[in-house]
Amino acid sequence: MNLLKILKNSFYRKKEILLIFFISAFSRAIIAYFYGDRSLENEWAILVTNLYNFNSFSLLNFDDLYLPNLWMPPIYGYFVYIHALIFGLNENLASYVIATQIIISSITPIIFYMIISNFFSKNLSLFGALIFSLFPLIVYSASQISSASIYLFLLLGFIYLVLDLSNKKSFKIDILIGVLAGILILTRRDFMLVYIFSLFYLLIFLKINYKKIFIIFIISIVSLSPYLIRNFIAFDKLIIHSGFGYNVWKAYNPNAKVEGYYYESNELTVKISKVKKDIYYRINEDKIYLEEAKTYIANNPEKYIKLFFKRLFSFYFLDLNSSQDNYYNFFHIYPNFFLSVLSCFGFIVCCKKNYKYNYLILTMFAFLFIYSLFALLPRYKLYILPFQIILSLSFIDFLIKKLSKNN
């Protein structure tokens, strides 16, 4: 009987997973057909073109000097480049990239389903996974030339493995977590802080042996090592990313809003024009941006503290003063706002959950804090949506149990 039950559960689980995948793939394919990007643009076009034509992963060049890229996290650039190697650098390249993103983005709701199955009933977990698979911003992200959908896939994979670590002693999970952490750092630089927080949480609250934590950390360094070695050879220093100063400056200047602002004073323009055009150009340029931002913050700290809290509100709920195209589209603002409000109710009733659940909530707060420090783009909302859905499911679960008791 037990064997029959296991087989039956396995059969239904496979049906649920296939249902989630096909609904996700269909919705993403439809949106990509009508609204998807048709070509590479801006930074990704420059990076991939230079790598394909000149064998240089470079965003900027001075005559024959191609500066090794430190500005853009490299994983997505190489992801697009692999497609260029297979299909050629042509006008259809973006379509091939988006086709792959649709497949990856259709697997992401399955990972989300496996995560929330730890906390909710099978039916509520399936409902949550379907919300995730059809949520407009998540669906739309797969149709754009951006690392957003890839990052979300990797992030949820990392979270799933972290939650599974306390249940299983397999060394394979340690390796996977370490490798994924390295890839995530090379996909978005802000993950470094989330990663450090996760290791501390594993050690202190989930009681993971410190030796396993050390192994995971070392493996993540090893997975980063090819890029670290490449940068050390180029710049004679261990460095992963540059551009921190620029991002601070964009978020903290006299005209900065929630989404930042490109404000270059005459004095700043003169300073940048004097930067020596050598291999260290980007590093030295970034230092100028950082010093400029520090001056602005020091001269008017109250203004930028208020701006931080405004970003915090805008990130969790909505930006009330956005200049981004189509930001106030019905299918963007109303689902986001409704979910944000519902998740607040979920936060009130979720206090009695376990340490694994609390890890998810604290990870969301880590994202809120990190992103609110800098300029916000609409797609960044994507990275807290899974947590807001989980909180919303907590509130729905609370209501179901309350109504069941009353009946």
Q: What is the mean pLDDT of the chain?
A: 92
**What's the pLDDT at 163?**
92
DSSP 20-67: HHHHHHHHHHHHHHHH---S--HHHHHHHHHHHHHS--EEEEETTEEE
pLDDT tens figures, 85-110? 999 999 999 999 999 999 999 999 99
- DSSP code of 69? P
Whole-angstrom distance, CA of residue 307 vs CA of residue 311: 6
Q: Where are the domains of the chain?
A: 1-147, 166-235
pLDDT exceeds 60 at position 364: yes
Give start and end residues of each alpha helix (H) in 166-209: 171-185, 191-204
Give mean pLDDT, residues 48-73.
93
Contacts of 158 (CB under 8 A, 6+ apart): 177, 180, 181, 184, 198
Sort residue 326 into left (φ over 0), alpha (ψ -120 to 50) or beta: left
Query: How would residue 262 be classed by pLDDT, with cut points 50, 70 and 90?
Result: confident
Decide which of 61 and 3 is more confident: 61
Global pTM? 0.95
pLDDT tens figures, 303-337? 999 999 999 999 999 999 998 888 999 999 999 99
In angstroms, how far is the first alpha carbon of the chain from the final one? 33
Helix (H) / strand (E) element for 315: namely helix 301-316
pLDDT tens figures, 144-159? 999 999 999 999 999 9
Nearest to 224 by CA among 194, 179, 190: 179
Query: How would residue 349 be classed by pLDDT, with cut points 50, 70 and 90?
Result: confident
